Amino acid sequence: MEFTFNFDVGVETSDEPVAVLKEQAQIKQDLTDSDTTTDGPKVGVKEAREHHPENVTHILENTVCETLNLGTLPPIQYLNETVVEKTASEHADDEDILSQSTALHSDLISGVYEGGLKIWECTYDLLTFIDDNRVAFAGKRVLDLGCGAGLLGITALKMGACEVHFQDYNDTVIERLTLPNILLNCDDDTDSEDEGSSPLSKRRAGEQQQQQLAMLTKCRFFSGDWTCFLQLVLDSELQLQYDLILTSETIYNTAYYPALHEVFHKLLAPNGLVYLATKSHYFGVGGGLLLFQDFVQQKGVFDLKCLKKIEGGLQRHVVALKWKTSD
């Protein structure tokens, strides 16, 4: 299946900045006009739920995986996207996002499918940033927000996070992609060639299952839109707060900014940090770093600091949000 990267295209040319500025000015006006202080988003309709993985033994059967080796980060196994797409029709998909995104040749259908089945470019930027800056995860509680394939959260797990929660808009993404990817990364002994029904391979299968279960006890999985997700977490028995929130390519739609900001506001621990990776502008959808920066500034809750700019085609950025200090 050929996906159209419908807001991912575009190289900055001399004409585009004018169009971008006009689009941003209009959106900024709309954002100012709408009451974003209390109501949350005007869009986002998907109920949230927590997924409790059960009977994980067969999830990885007949899957094809790849390995990402990036700098000095621990290798990450993940499902091959093309195989996931090509075999999608063999499985029922309650949300019907696979056939809809295929039919519309689109990576994103606002309010229906928010793009989690593919790995977006800025995920690699944030992973590179984590590696270059030796971001510390040991003992931290981490949220991979808008996780898609979950590579950020998996890296946090492998680097010693004590707990990692994965959130995606779509149930299908959590069940078909995020969860299998976590299971793929539970077995450190990837070099073993022992396959078959010997006592040794049975013992290894048992050990792998133990490792998967141990890893899963550190994870929680949520689907649904950010407003509902936040409510679910706030209503839950645990007063959850995250030391680190990792999020990549999640500020493309300005209509979601109030809900996104509210998640940061309510769920970031007092000394916590949000690392956000983004393109400077999302053509066709309209969001981007400048508008988000303005939104954050208007809210007056967080300081936003640009940590890294990646040139080449459309500019990309890694930024951090931290609580404003009173001084």
Binding residues for ligand SAM, per CB under 6 A? 44, 114-116, 119-120, 122-123, 146-148, 168-169, 225-226, 248-250, 256, 259
Q: Report whether 306 contacts 315 (CB < 8 A).
A: no
Taking the least distance from each CB to ligand SAM, the nearer of 169 and 275 is: 169
Q: Read off the amino acid at residue 163.
A: E
Q: Least CB distance from residue 124 to ligand SAM, whole Å?
A: 9
Taking the least distance from each CB to ligand SAM, the nearer of 146 and 288 is: 146
Taking the least distance from each CB to ligand SAM, the nearer of 204 and 299 is: 299
Q: Report whether 24 contacts 290 (CB < 8 A).
A: yes
Q: Least CB distance from residue 82 to ligand SAM, whole Å?
A: 16
In the bound state, the residue with its beta carbon closest to ligand SAM is: 146
Taking the least distance from each CB to ligand SAM, the nearer of 88 and 119 is: 119
Q: Least CB distance from residue 10 to ligand SAM, whole Å?
A: 16
Please state, in angstroms and rounded to a whole number, the distance separating the CA atoms of residues 79 and 192.
Answer: 19
Q: Least CB distance from residue 127 to ligand SAM, whole Å?
A: 10
* Residue environment code for 207-218, b if the CB has 16+ CB neighbours within 10 A, otherwise e: ebeebbeebbeb
Taking the least distance from each CB to ligand SAM, the nearer of 159 and 208 is: 159
Taking the least distance from each CB to ligand SAM, the nearer of 115 and 288 is: 115
Q: Least CB distance from residue 177 to ligand SAM, whole Å?
A: 10
Residue reference for tokens 């916590």: 272
Q: Least CB distance from residue 260 to ligand SAM, whole Å?
A: 7
